[in-house]
Amino acid sequence: MDDSLGRLADRIAVSGGRRLAAVIFGVVLATGQSPLSWYPLALIALFAALAIFSRLKKSVQAAWFGWLLAVGYFAASLFWLIDPFLVEPWRHGWMAPFALVLMAGGLGLFWALAFGLAHLLGTTPSKRLLALILLFSLAEFARANVLSGFPWGLQGYIWVETPVRQLAALVGPHGLGVLTLLLAALPLIPRRRWLGGILAASLMLAMWGGGVLRLQLVKPEPAMGTSLRLIQPNAPQRQKWDPAYAPGFFKRALALTAEPAERPIDMVIWPEAAITWWLDDEPELQARIAAAAPPGARVVLGARRYQAGRFFNSAVLLDETGMSAVIYDKLHLVPFGEYIPFGSLLSLIGIHGLAAEEGGGFSAGKTPMLMDFGQAGKALPLICYEAIFPAMARYGNPRPDWILQITNDAWFGELAGPQQHFIQARMRATEQGLPLVRVANTGISALIGATGKVIEQLPLGVAGRLDVTLPGRLPATVYGRTGDLPLLVLMLAGILLTVLRRWHKKSD
């Protein structure tokens, strides 16, 4: 780092301004996430934050700095979290500010722990940065898995609009996060700053070039020729369940389903919770759905179902009569959305899940599964929130032919929430080398290729249908076979080595 920049970092680190700087850099770091995807600006913010961190004098200061950086980052990138609470403001509106504040502050604890421990283990600025790369990556992995997990806004997602995204097929989203952190830290690590700049530039070229090379080398398997019709009814959440509007949305979806097709359609797909009645409780209405489909086409839709006193959020394949033939029940439910811990008790004081029934809300399904669509192949179903978890997209033995995500993003407004959800679906396709079909109530519905490229899409906030031909899958990826285990072992081994060296130095 240039001496003038070093002096500036020192000045900020020892002043009260470091707290404000942490929040500001956190906000700027959030611009790397969709819909802006300004990865250069995010890298600059990350570089500046690391420069200040490396000059802090105490571990407690480092922990506070990491927490404030996270608060700025999560408050700016997750501001859409207030939208679900405003769907029924008379019921949930009072919780909106608390939800955002508690989420940003709670997630920030993972970063605070990483920054504090890294400073404690590192005896020099360079060693602190190296320790932070290990501990921050482990903290992000913990954030993605602890207490049901919330891997939203991972640092690797800043590359989704670039060829660098292809590296997720090798190292996954957490591995991309490690590379991102290393890229920002390299100019600060060597004593000869020009060397750090050269190393950072070389890493950037390697990441970009590696992505371009993969796009040129990978060859998809022959496509099965499956033709799908994706239905996007665009029912606003405030009106979706209203008896005055629901019949109109149903008729709209039926009309879109029945529109003439330029080529034979094998399957019609409706989004999550596409029908307002309990599954199979209205056989005449479901028969109308099956009858509206083009000749020979089957229908897949999202529905709520009730069984033995329990509620499920399900993806369903209808038979020729419109009754359920194959059912997948959502496994990973949204906490405080589809269920609330101790929900029956908390409902007595007016706290309910946003999309849940009274009390405990929805129940989770028992096991992941592949849905066998015959000539359309075997698809891995993911319902809404499930697509943000990389591990869920790895299920399948034998390997699925494609991934199907049905969702209702009407909860998230039309700003950052749906776009961030969409890019995570693109990352799942890239990681697994599988085409992904996404059908959303209000958008974004899309066909995503096995490299994560968007082939066709319906934008947010429009009603329509999209007729697409399913492309072939790519060979199984390294990440698809191994998951995060190799990276996790490397991170833990690196931390153990750092601790042992620190202990050995103290014992001397």
- Enzyme catalytic residues: 272, 330, 384
Per DSSP (E only), the strands in 361-486 are: 371-372, 378-383, 402-407, 436-440, 445-448, 454-458, 464-469
Return the HEC string of 95-130.
Answer: HHHHHHHHHHHHHHHHHHHHHHHHHHHCCCHHHHHH
> What CA–CA distance (Å, rounded) separates 211 from 75?
31
Among the listed residues 389, 394, 387, the one whose alpha carbon sits nearest the alpha carbon of residue 479:
394
Read off φ and ψ for residue 304, nearest 5 degrees.
-85, 140
The helix/strand/coil state of 312 is: strand
Q: Which residues pair with 318 in a beta bridge?
A: 324
Helix (H) or strand (E) holding 232: strand 227-232
Q: Any idea what DSSP says for residue 406?
A: E
Contact 286, 317 (CB under 8 A): no
Q: In the numeric block, which tokens belong to residue 467? A: 């007729």
Count of residues in the chain: 508
Read off φ and ψ for residue 88, nearest 5 degrees.
-125, 75
> What CA–CA distance (Å, rounded) separates 257 from 281?
21
Q: In the numeric block, which tokens belong to residue 190? A: 């060597």
| Residue 4 burial (CB count, 10 A) | 8
> What CA–CA distance (Å, rounded) separates 432 from 393?
7
Q: In the numeric block, which tokens belong to residue 424? A: 């995570």
